[in-house]
Structure 1
């Protein structure tokens, strides 16, 4: 199962999320999108998921904090306990044995990040 994880500011636009996903490798083959629980209801993410016909997987912040990520943001580490929300959300939502297949990519406006992971879906 292939999942795109997203980290983004509350005021990120649908265009920002699209661009971050495109930079991370695109939507081909995705089974879901994922983010930290407190942002899973964001309009831009819901719009992107609807556009792609994919479910949103919500990942609790404490689960994100347990995942070691390739990229590290001190700001995100302080706020969520994780090095990258996008990477850790993708890994957590992809299931057991998940591995990152695309590290965090950032939209040009720096409002959104996306990463892609693949796992067994469980």
Structure 2
């Protein structure tokens, strides 16, 4: 019997991103992959994601900014590498929050206004 999977949506976004930017990106993930168990964000980006979590009644996991460069991502954004030391903040956050052995279900998606990204990682429920 296969262990139950945990689906964690990680977010990355520009300073000018709005709650609507994140919500639209989350809706794209849900449409593509189905239910999301938890949301995740780098500690420095937490307030907006926490607000989205409150509105959607989804728990939010905070990830240390210092851990972002330790993760290999599918996407290699030059801007993200320069700013945060990782190819995709959304992908790195999702993987870190989903736990050891987590895998990305695909590359990050970009919100319609291009201000936010979201990625979905699958980990095992402990």
**Taking structure 1 as the reference length, what is the TM-score of the superposition?**
0.89
Per-residue CA shift, 1:70-120, capped at 9, x if unaligned?
011111101111100000100100012100013200012111000000112
For residue 121 of structure 1, report the CA deviation from its aligned partner.
4.8
Alignment-derived partner of residue 10 in structure 2:
5
Counterpart Cα distance in 2 of 1:108 and 1:83: 20
Structure with larger Rg: 2
- Match runs of 1:97-116 below 5 Å: 97-116=101-120
- Match runs of 1:89-100 below 5 Å: 89-100=93-104
Q: CA 1:50/1:28 → structure 2, altered by over 3 Å: closer, same or farther? A: farther
**Taking structure 2 as the reference length, what is the TM-score of the superposition?**
0.86
For structure 2, the residue ranges without an aligned partner over 5 or more in a row are 1-5
Query: Could you tell me which of 64, 85, 91 is aligned with 2:89?
Result: 85
Are 1:20 and 2:2 matched, yes or no? no
For structure 1, the residue ranges without an aligned partner over 5 or more in a row are none
Aligned length: 120
